[in-house]
Amino acid sequence: MAQVKRAFDPASADVATAEASPDQTASQLQFWIDCMGGPVLVAEKGSRTVSFCNKTAHNFFIPGSPSPVGRLIDELIGVAASLLLTQIWSIPQNGAISEPFIIKSVLDDKERLLVTHVSSVRVEGRDLRLYSFRDAPPSDTLGMVNWQLNLMELLNWLPLGFEVATLRDEVQFVNSGFKQMFGYDLDQLEDAEDWWRLAYPDPDYRAMARQKWEDEIAAARRENREMTPFDLDVRTASGETRRIQFRHRAIGHFHLNLYLDVTAERLYAQRMQKLAEIDPLTGLLNRRSFFEQTSEILSIDGGDEAKHVVLMLDIDHFKQLNDLHGHAVGDLALEAFARCCHGVVRGRDVVARLGGEEFCVFLRSVTLDKAIEVAERIRAATEELEIEAGGAPVRITVSIGLAQCWSGENAVDQALRRADGLLYQAKMNGRNRVAH
């Protein structure tokens, strides 16, 4: 884009460079644009409806037509060219004139190449866009405008959000991917504060997201490199929350930001992670996850005086249940027993299916008496379960072995072996009981 802009010398353009105050009256603006030699349109930012024009503009676009005031710019230069005007970046403030930009106007199947300059003006509290036009010189213009249009088409084709901002993080351009991803128009993002307010409505998450962004940006600029990509949850204009990966690089006088929607990829990764950690039948942790979580707890609570207790649980005569009623009924019994355990233990405790009919419960920071009470509650609740088997309810019982984790043990293996030995005793003593 910089090459296209340098191809034209702004000083040679037939455009006035009069200063404008930050806010002016309608009569002041009209006087100003009437002093400009070429055609000028002043339009609403959002609707692109012409609010002011000078006399030269009356016959420049559609000879013999009424005043352009009140009409859409789309009707004067075509929809495609009008939309392109909304994607011009590096728009000066307070009436200063931009560098030239070439657009291809197509109206009633007639093509016309125009050089335009863009400026922001504020009139009686309204933020407007001022466009000056002239016909592009024929020499080498066609190749240049095609290059420029191809670049814009490429940016809009990219399957990601692309944004250009000033060094003060004032948004100047967003591609179609950005609009499709977030649903926000450029007019809704007047400055960085609008983005933070709309995209992160929760104040606490907004503060975290902003600090993350500023820290990563600062590190990248210090080292003159691309920012390390990271993910954030962003609220779109439709109210949907999307997981977005952010990428950033400062190039020249612009900040270039890339936004990749990784919502589907992250959800898939979470599902894969869950499948790796969870027993698919009961929804409990599997053996590997049980040992990982309990090892982490023991490392955290290693110096804590509170004791931990492990329960080994085995559904009594489970093989006979499968043989008599089928594996479908056996699966129902496993699911019902898993719910039973979850209904008794606390949220901070760890419940897992180790395999087959064997289950394990890690009771965190409990006394031995309290652990025995929990085990007895699980046993009693299991005894009350009824499993549907061809219209006739089937009951199950459970045997439980209980062992404390000893001081200095940084893994649950040894306590689990002790609990397993006590489970064997419970079975030898008639099953449906707790041994400790």
Catalytic residues: 357
Contact between 310 and 360 (Cβ < 8 Å): yes
Q: Which two tokens stand for residue 130?
A: 């001022």
The alpha carbon dihedral of 24, 30, 33, 39 has a sign of positive
Contact between 272 and 181 (Cβ < 8 Å): no
Backbone angles phi, psi at 130, to 5 degrees: -105, 125
d(CA 314, CA 321): 13
* Residue listed under structure tokens 């933020």: 127
d(CA 200, CA 198): 6
Write out the DSSP string of 106-134.
EETTEEEEEEEEEEEEEETTEEEEEEEEE
Contact between 167 and 177 (Cβ < 8 Å): no
Q: Which two tokens stand for residue 330?
A: 């056996």
Q: Give every CB contact of residue 418 below 8 A, 6+ residues apart in sequence.
A: 310, 401, 403
* Residue listed under structure tokens 């866009």: 129
3-state SS, residue 381? helix
Side chain identity, residue 329: V
Side chain identity, residue 185: D
CA distances 352 to 293, 328, 338, 341, Å, are 11, 21, 9, 10
Classify residue 200 by its DSSP letter. -
In DSSP terms, 132 is beta-bridged to 40, 117
Q: Could you tell me which of 209, 201, 186, 211 has the C-alpha nearest to residue 235?
A: 201
3-state SS, residue 233? strand
Q: Could you tell me which of 310, 334, 337 has the C-alpha nearest to residue 422?
A: 310
Contact between 73 and 43 (Cβ < 8 Å): yes
Contact between 351 and 361 (Cβ < 8 Å): yes
Contact between 89 and 56 (Cβ < 8 Å): no
